[in-house]
A and B are shown apart, each in its own frame.
Chain A
Amino acid sequence: MRLRVLAVSLLCLVAANAGAQANKTQAGKSPELRIDFTRETLPNGLNVIYHVDHSTPAATVLLWYNVGSKMEQPGRTGFAHLFEHMMFQGSKNIAKGQHFALLEAAGGRGGADINGTTNWDRTNYYEQVPSNQVELALWLEADRMGTLLNAMDQAKLDNQREVVKNERRQSYDNQPYGSWLEKMGQALFPEGHPYHHSIIGSMDDLSAASLTDVENFFKTYYAPNNAVLVIAGDIDVPQVKQMVQKYFAPIPRGPKVPALANTQVPTVIGHQQRYVISDALAPAPAIYVGYRVPSAKDRRAAAVSLLGDVIGSGRSSRLYDALVRRQQIATNVNAFNLGLADGADELIFIATGKPGANADSLEVAMMAELAGASSFTQAELERARAGERFGFVNALQTTGGLGGRADRLAEGWTFFHDPNHVNKVLSEYDHVTLDDLNALGRERLVPTNRAVLIYVPAKKTASAETRTP
């Protein structure tokens, strides 16, 4: 399963819940499900996708800008995400605080319906509002796309820099095992590779970000020709097209966006990596294993997700059965891929040990399971496929949120120049064979293609020990 919530967001993400045309389904086959859409390109280069779903009187306005942390310059890690925060600080016609005040008063729920998120490959902004408020959402998005710099100042930057530093503390620095995602990127991609550094960025680089950086970033990446706009839900398309014309057509096309640094890497890293981390916040050992695997744009992307699933997703997976159920050395396991778009992706396996468990024994047990990752059964594959089918449909219950309809349409356009990609996802899962899965395991799940992070609880002083009655 690809994990979408690893994107770093303006507001704390709550679990996303999710109208499409669907017909009766048979067991073991994907439901026939179509997300219908129309698409147009404005003269300024903005691509616009419309999807109609009248099942709830609500609609989502969503923008994907084709910019993520992979475009960041040396010394400015975390900037794409910090910039995303600045997009909520007001523009020519919108005072600080008014973006949320207006949208929430209109009926959008902050966080769940209204948010912005940044990941390695893209930055998205979305608002799901009652369908009579679509024009408000379009106006707000157009105003910041066109006039953000008119209202930018140092006080806003300093404030959001602090907010993002707090976000870094909350999600990484103050959490047990909180460093794994940063360390994994550093281990699986060489220095200088666009995926080597983290989305959240370092405290030093956040401190160094300036108003000049804000201006340059905006002028480089935030232009209609580097974005896709989706309006999905209870809408009248001709009417909404007029609104899009009114608000977005006057925004001038931006300069050609600079090419991304080379993202190509060898299919296999070529050497073993093992890191032991003493963690003062961890109550039990944990092991994080990451492999370099084909990217989200690769034809084997569906097989990558399924490979993670059979090994470590859910209570019938291999890791759960072996480490949690039979050996009882771990209390929790997990597997997912990040969905990186260019060059290569990361496939992650996690085992959290029982409190007091020996980290070495946990590592041995986990490696034994990963070593057998090329002899799967058809039943294992079918279980994984069934889980992916359900997860895909479940997320399409809403037009908003990560993995929702608007998000899927924008993803298809940005990564594949094909908004219809959403309608091909299920068949891609259906077409993965057992041979595909085993071949992928044999090729990629090898010791020379992985990084192993071993978190060991740091010895605490007696005074710091938690007392028990």
Chain B
Amino acid sequence: MIFKGLKIALKSLLKQKLTTLLNILGLTLAFFGFLLIMIYLQHELSYDKFNKNYDRLYLLTAKADQGQRQATLPALLKKEIGNSIPEIESVTVFHQIFNLNNVYRADKPNDDYNADPVFASKEVFSAFTFPLIQGNPETVLSKPFTAVISQSLAHKIFGNENPVGQQLLYKREKSPFTITGVMKDIPSNSSIKTDCFFSLATETDDPNSGANLASEYSYVLAFLLKQGANPDETAQKIEANAGSMKADFDAFKKAFHTERILYLKPFKEVHFSSDGSMTYLNAVNPLFLKIFGSVALLILLMAFVNYINLISVQAGKRIHQLGIQRALGATRFQVQLQIIFEAIVLALIAFLLATVAVELLGTDMQDILPYQDLSMMNDTNLLLLPAGLAILFGLFAGLYPAYLLSSAEPTKILHGEFQFSGNGRFLRAALTTLQLVISTALIIGAFTIHRQLNYWKNFDTGLSPNNVVYLQTDASITQHGPAFAEELLKNNQITNYTYTGFVPGQVQMSWGRDIGDQRVTLWAWPVDERFLDFFHIKIDKGRAFSQNIAADRNDFIVNEKAVQNYGWKNPLDISFPALGGNGHVIGVAKNVTFSSLREELQPMVFWLTNNPGWQNYILLKIHPGNLTQTLQYIKDTWAKFSSAPAPSIQFLDQKYEALYSRENKLANFIQFGTLMSLLIALIGIIGLVTYLTQKRSKEIALRKTSGASTMQILILLNQSFIRWIGIAMVIAVPLAWYFMNQWLQNFAYRTNLPWWVFISAGVIVLSICLIVINYFSFKAANTNPVDSLRNE
């Protein structure tokens, strides 16, 4: 019975080739986009759920200035609270070393391997579900200078050798770490991502390390609470039992006018935090997920609309055939079932094609959806759920056509007395207009995101990246820092240099200091004396760092924002500790934007230091010509000062662009969504145009007989579509304006939305539609009227 139904369905579909083809194309496109987005969303929503302690894991966050939150705190806090809080089962401390992504084999230090190493305390393997293949979870990271690497990293570095007992470095000049364990690869949907854990004991056992300083807000503390523990109460207890840090917290509470400083954020919220504090942990802006999900649904809606439109325009042809079936004995229900079955078959065909397309093209979509493994084979739910959805889609899409095509009495049909009411025309117009609204709105969205990205790209941060390259140093280079730099300057294509602890855009160090009776937080940027001049940063008060470095060593230049925020009347009288001794504020610099333009400018201090440990990078200003030779010269000069292979030379403007990779990906995604929706809308329009030109062929012939030219016929055929496009714009523009404005409010530095953005979107939709409409109408408009008029 099902087989017979399937046979009838397929025959019916094949009989209306054009409609079937257009429907399959539109549905396949829609399902393709929908499936890709669903795979990505499923991945994002599954973050950290693989942890068996998922419901009891929390991240400690602190309230910062201006209502912000930060997830980095002093590691010392763990020691201070000790075992004083019974609700806490364990505390895992993480420290990710930024800008150091590679590890080296101790016995072969010339080869580096990307591992994104993270320092972690020994509790990590009991609190988190990172299964060990080799090693004891209780002890693998209990000692200093020990490491656990992932299975794939082990294979990469050691091949078939047993990695346990071997040694790794994270900097060539540092002490080696002994591998004590091998873990299974951490899944991609983990907030904590690494191929190599180093033992935090390496830091905590060193009294000079930041891990033992109350002022070092660079560590992530993950709390595993006991069953039934209240996280709010526990957070308050942590504050109360913070030992030597309690005074700091009290000072912050006073400074920020708040009753509480510490909060325990459940791990289920960690991946979706949009307050910026979780960027450390690869968090995603939940607004982005909502946008992705909305676009997925919109694309599906458009395909749904197309299906209804294309089937209903064919109703006139099919009604005669179905009328005969009813006259021969088919019940109305049977006819409806047949039509619904056809819709389901069509949807399943499209779903199958879309699945194949996802498997073939999924890996090419990384620029659009920031997830590498876009495949449906990862999870059977990913196959079953969408298949079920396809069936449901077919069911609902078939309902209206089933009602429509079964509504007429057979006798009327057979005597040619049946006519569809005008309501079908209105529905078609409304549905087509809806599609055009979606396409227009998405184009406006794409323009807005593009404008925002361009705004950031062209924003004068005060730290111009033009013609600036940088490379990571090593101990040999920093040991001979000035000599290395002077050697570079011998090439007249290299005009300036500076050493710095952080690359612009990635200042990662934050200090909490007591200044007067205030507790202040400052982003701290270790630089050399050339830095301000290198970027032409102007001084508002006081002076720049002196070339005579000994006099200014450890001194500071604060930014205007710091002075404004903390109301310093005499900033040049201020002194506070750096890392290793006090320093004085010798100047106030004009504000420069040193972090992402998403956030408001923060108080910041340039800290002059010649400590090689803080000269992680050398930045070079170069002439743009002869680039290849210049880069080669840099590498050759490196080779004179260091036996290690030269690191890759990066361009600062590309670094800036990478800061906005999320928004770039969003832009790519919206363009993808826009393209999908436009294609689906155009498929619908092609179907409608084809139908209308066929339906009106006699009218066209009569008008031509009466003297109408081809152009006049084309104008006639275009009129209704232009009306629909006009209505679509009137609806789309305010909607898009509202949502884009809301999106832009997420950014401290944002562009505006001039009127021409909206007009351009309308013009684009209109132009594309007119080209398609006229392409398919031209033939009809040019047909010899004789061919259409009925003769003898």
| Bound pair (A, B) | no
